[in-house]
Chains A and B, each alone.
Chain A
Amino acid sequence: MRYPGLRLALFLFGCLLPAWWLYEAMSNQLGPDPGKVLVTRLGLGGLIYLLVGLCMSPLQRMTGWAGWIVVRRQIGLWSFAYILLHLLGYLVFMLGLDIGQLGVELRRRPYIIVGTLGFLGLLMLAVTSNRASQRRLGARWRSLHRLVYAVLGLGLLHFLWIVRSDLGEWTLYAGAGLAVMVMRIPAVWRRLPRFNRKKRNELK
């Protein structure tokens, strides 16, 4: 296994962050509506992991360092884990585990429908993220995992439909999403600056 320290650090960070939030909530540091704060943080956390995960291949291309791709799968799985917790938090803290109400929300609320679709996409990516699935799906694995772009779009739409009065924060995330997508346009991809080559030339 390459870069075990990096992987372990990422793993510990992924575990400790929600544990820290839970500790804050239980010691009354998150205000009068801690459930809502946790759900929001988990949702944003999942989106940030998704965006960071999508930066890995452009970064690898720009720097030539293999470590970026090594941690990509784990970052994607953390995005899935945080969104799963986001969903569970919504069920417990917002709906009070009222499954009948969940049925109503799933039929009536566009942002819930879009969020659920995004979660199902992440679920599909998570269960096919292992090597066995990669071997079994062969060439189809790559096309299946392009689903991540649709998940990003659904996630941003879900976020947009929650905004009440100020688009500032959303615009920041949507801008980041746009940037990682633009980098994938072939003409842009070819022109991404290559820092590693320059460095190597300097070393010669």
Chain B
Amino acid sequence: MAGLALGALPAVGRAADAARYPEVEPGKPAGWFTDKLAATRWQAVTVKDEAITPFRDATHYNNFYEFGPGKGDPADNAGSLPTEPWRLVIDGEVDKPGNYALEDFVKPYQLEERIYRLRCVEAWSMVIPWLGFPLADILKRVQPTSKARYVCFETLRDPEHMPGQRSGFALIDWPYVEGLRLDEAMNPLTLMAVGMYGRELPNQNGAPLRLVVPWKYGFKSIKSIVRMSLVAEQPKTTWQGLAPEEYGFYANVNPQVDHPRWTQARERRLPSGLFSPNVRDTLMFNGYAEQVSGLYAGLDLRKNY
């Protein structure tokens, strides 16, 4: 593959990466990201016969309530968030807790490009080429204790740069919290992303470090992570706390279990034109059933939504 060949030559590789996807706005990557990009394993995971969402749409149609409730608010408001330096705390039931500078934390990992479907709980979807490394690799390094059964993640709380956190009418109790069962976190599909479309993550997409869990609704894929805790009890996640009858802990993509306010059987694959609506059937586990259905054997997915 051309990408692999070019990847061996850093300078050439960088020039090619910018052109890997059309109309990608160049970012201002941190030094560590540029260094890692050169050795990326391009297209490590792909989707078959599905078009990748245009970069502009993936970066201007976002739910990131820290920056406001509108779809365009994150792109408008996230630009000023400082993402370097960035620190990440790993604590709880682990043998090797730590408080890392991001560049030190990511040092051991090689970047992979993974093209995943992203299904939002609001019944729209995209296809996005992420750059990151498996969460399992991190967990193996920090060594969960025998008591650890869940991973709990936390987004940055920074009202000064996050206008949504200053809103007096926000229903969310900041910081945003998400969680996975330890075996879900260890699944090879679960990705810690630091980039997309051949560049670093734009701020509105969760820079500098976010989770990507492609078989779950998008809100599980928490953005701008500052803390990961290994815990014994199932964490109380943000959306679950807000509307437990609407958003469960699992939040697996499931066309058979409706959201109380709308059907989950179908989705609008964006961009969806006005007179050529791009509506398709939603797939069980967002099309990743083969890799993940084993995790839920014996679990009633209607009750554990």
Binding site for B on A (CB under 8 A): 22, 25-26, 31-36, 38, 92-93, 96, 101, 104-105, 108-109, 111, 161-169, 171
Contact = CB atoms under 8 A, between A and B. Distances in A.
A165 B71 contact: no
B245 to A, nearest CB: 12
Interface stretch (B22-30, B103-111, B223-231, B269-277): B269-277
Interface string B35-69: 00000000000000000011001001100010011
Contacts of A22: 274
Interface string B257-268: 010111100101
Contacts of B53: 32
A201 B175 CA distance: 59
B24 to A, nearest CB: 16
Given A33-B268, A165-B170, A168-B167, 10 more contacts: A31-B60, A31-B61, A31-B72, A36-B268, A38-B274, A96-B279, A109-B260, A161-B261, A165-B172, A166-B164
B274 A34 contact: yes
Interface of B: 53-54, 57, 60-61, 65, 68-69, 71-72, 122, 124, 164, 167-172, 242, 258, 260-263, 266, 268, 270-274, 277, 279
Contacts of A162: 261
Q: Is the interface of B mostly helix, strand, loop or mixed?
A: loop
Main secondary structure of the interface of A (DSSP, over half): helix
A35 B272 contact: yes
A22 B60 CA distance: 20
A93 B61 CA distance: 17
Residue from the set B171, B263, B272, B274 with the largest chain A CB neighbour count within 10 Å: B274
Closest 4 pairs between A and B when the two form their complex, measured CB to CB: A168-B169, A32-B271, A166-B69, A32-B270
A35 B276 CA distance: 10
A86 B124 CA distance: 19
A23 to B, nearest CB: 11
Given A167-B171, A169-B69, A93 B258 contact: no
A168 B69 contact: yes
Contacts of A25: 274
A185 B242 CA distance: 36
